[in-house]
Amino acid sequence: MFKHLLVPLDGSHLAEAALPAAKFLAQKLLASVTLIHVIERNAPKEIHSERHLTDSDEARQYLGKIVEETFPKGFEVKTHVHTAEVSDVARSIADHTEEFTPDLVILCTHGRGGMRDLLFGSIAQQVIAFKKTPVLLIRPTEDQSKAFTCEKILVPLDGNSEHEQSLTAGVEFAQALKASLHLVMVVPTVGTLTGEQAATARLMPGATHVMLEAAELGAEDYLRQRLDGLKDLPLHLSAEVVRGDPAEIIIETADQVKADLIVLSTHGKAGTEAFWSGSVAPKIAMRSQVPLLLVPVTA
């Protein structure tokens, strides 16, 4: 269960977009919160036209103010400023997950490119690489004071039992938040196959069509089994199989079912480039406004 939340903040309004989710989840999950700021070596005075916190005393005052303004009295909220200057902020925050052992790291990412995306993308990658701590990515909205809510959770599955940690996390969230749970499996069409599969489809279109039809039937059976395994829980459950490109279908399904959260399993690959290339998760993170919970595959 998620009982300790870690929220990295750099002093910017964009990073603060993670706070409504932290407040909501702390209340609903009865979880403690740790706000952290890392002092960067040779840091620029501004990032994206916003003042950058480079002084440890100022950072402590800032985090204290965030606690007072965001969390009601009675919440267990701690703050930590890493005063020893570091050149790799992302790595330092990832290292702090080992020190503070949170159950969840909450980050903001805006998907506009630039250094801030590289920073938060690197934090997510490095935390996931430890194969221990899930990461919740939040996209900021025009009204960042808007309360976070979670009434519908979407869990995409691929039929791989090693990736079902996302289902476990989705069920835990759904039970604790009294949210409904929607499962989806995406089976490609001939036109959405890539790489060697696309080449095979061009050479053997008939066989590929039969293979994909069989995959759709297998996906339907797989989802029925998952639903049967959850039927005794006090949850509102639904599931569907959809044909098409995985990232596009997941984004479209999230919009159609009005999901408040998407939960995905992901492997911790070495290097930011490896993490962000050729994976469904970054495509969803960059294109969807729905918060994305990345659950590391630990098998």
Geometric angle at alpha carbon 180, from 234 and 229, rounded to 5°: 50
The per-residue pLDDT for 261 is: 97
pLDDT of 95 above 50:
yes
Mean pLDDT confidence for 14-39: 93
- Within 13 A of 14's CA, how many CA atoms are on the CB side? 19
Ordered alpha helix ranges (H), 6-55: 19-29
**Which band of pLDDT confidence, cut at 50, 70 and 90, is reported for residue 94?**
confident
Q: pLDDT by residue (tens digit) across 53-86?
A: 778 899 999 999 999 999 988 889 999 999 888 8
Considering the domain architecture, whether residues 160 and 287 belong to the same structural domain is answered as: yes
pLDDT of 10 above 50:
yes
Considering the domain architecture, whether residues 170 and 62 belong to the same structural domain is answered as: no
Helix (H) or strand (E) holding 93: helix 89-100
Three-state DSSP class for 83?
strand
Contact 230, 171 (CB under 8 A): yes
pLDDT, greater one: 206 or 4? 4
The per-residue pLDDT for 248 is: 93
Considering the domain architecture, whether residues 32 and 74 belong to the same structural domain is answered as: yes
Considering the domain architecture, whether residues 213 and 262 belong to the same structural domain is answered as: yes
pLDDT of 212 above 70:
yes
User: 138, 162, 179: which is the final residue of a domain?
Assistant: 138
**Which band of pLDDT confidence, cut at 50, 70 and 90, is reported for residue 193?**
low
**Which band of pLDDT confidence, cut at 50, 70 and 90, is reported for residue 19?**
very high
pLDDT of 277 above 90:
no
Q: CATH number, domain at 43?
A: 3.40.50.620
Mean pLDDT of the chain: 82
CA distance 263 to 254: 11
pLDDT of 204 above 80:
no
pLDDT, greater one: 123 or 177? 177
Considering the domain architecture, whether residues 119 and 179 belong to the same structural domain is answered as: no
User: 112, 138, 164: which is the final residue of a domain?
Assistant: 138
pLDDT, greater one: 30 or 283? 30
The per-residue pLDDT for 275 is: 41
Total count of domains within the chain: 2
3-state secondary structure 125-150: HHHHHCCCCCEEEECCCCCCCCCCCC
**Which band of pLDDT confidence, cut at 50, 70 and 90, is reported for residue 116?**
very low
C-alpha separations of 215 from 113, 158, 208, 209, 265 in Å? 36, 11, 10, 10, 20
Considering the domain architecture, whether residues 42 and 119 belong to the same structural domain is answered as: yes
Considering the domain architecture, whether residues 292 and 157 belong to the same structural domain is answered as: yes
Mean pLDDT confidence for 229-249: 93
pLDDT, greater one: 206 or 229? 229
The per-residue pLDDT for 49 is: 66
Could you tell me which of 298, 293, 284, 237 has the C-alpha nearest to residue 263? Answer: 293
Question: Considering the domain boundaries, does residue 191 fall inside one?
Answer: yes
User: 138, 170, 204: which is the final residue of a domain?
Assistant: 138
Q: What is the span of the domain harbouring residue 262?
A: 152-296
Range with the lowest mean pLDDT among 14-23, 253-262, 267-276? 267-276
